Amino acid sequence: MKRIGHYVDGQQVDGGDRVGPVYNPATGEQTGEVALASASDLETAVSAAQKAQPGWRATPLSKRQDIMFKLRQIVTDRKEELARIITAEHGKVVSDAAGEVSRGLENVDWCTNLMQQLKGDYSENVANGVDVHSVRQPLGVVACITPFNFPVMIPLWMATTAIACGNAVILKPSERDPSAALWLAEAFAEAGLPAGVLNVVNGDADTVNAILDHKAISAVSFVGSTPIAEKIYTRAAANGKRVQALGGAKNHMVVMPDADLDSAADAAVSAAYGSAGERCMAVSVAVAVGEAGDALVEKIAERMPKLKVGDGTDPESEMGPLITQAARDRVAGYVEGASGEGAKVVVDGTEQKFDNDGFFIGVSLVDDVKPGMKVYDDEIFGPVLSVVRVDSYDEAVDLINANQYANGVAVFTRDGKTARQFEFDIEVGMVGVNVPIPVPIGTFSFGGWKRSLFGDTHMYGAEGFNFYTRRKVVTTRWPEPSESQISLGFPTH
Residue pair 201/37 in contact (Cβ under 8 Å)? The answer is yes
Task: Yes or no: say if 283 and 272 are a contact pair by the CB < 8 Å rule.
Answer: yes
Instruction: Say which residues have a Cβ less than 8 Å from residue 361's Cβ, sequence separation at least 6.
Output: 276, 321, 322, 328, 331, 332, 349, 350, 352, 382, 383
Expressed in angstroms, the distance from the first to the final Cα of the chain is: 71
Decide: 378 and 371 in contact? Cβ < 8 Å.
no
447-458 burial: b if 16+ Cβ within 10 Å, else e: bbebbbbbbebb
Task: Give strand ranges (E) for 290-403.
Answer: 344-347, 364-367, 384-390
What is d(CA 208, CA 213) in angstroms, rounded to the nearest whole number? 9
**Degrees, nearest 5: CA angle 221-222-228:** 140
Catalytic site positions: 280
CB 105 within 8 A of CB 217: no
* Distance from the Cα of residue 130 to its chain's centroid: 44
Distance (Å, rounded) from C-alpha 103 to C-alpha 152? 9
Which amino acid is located at 140 in the chain? G
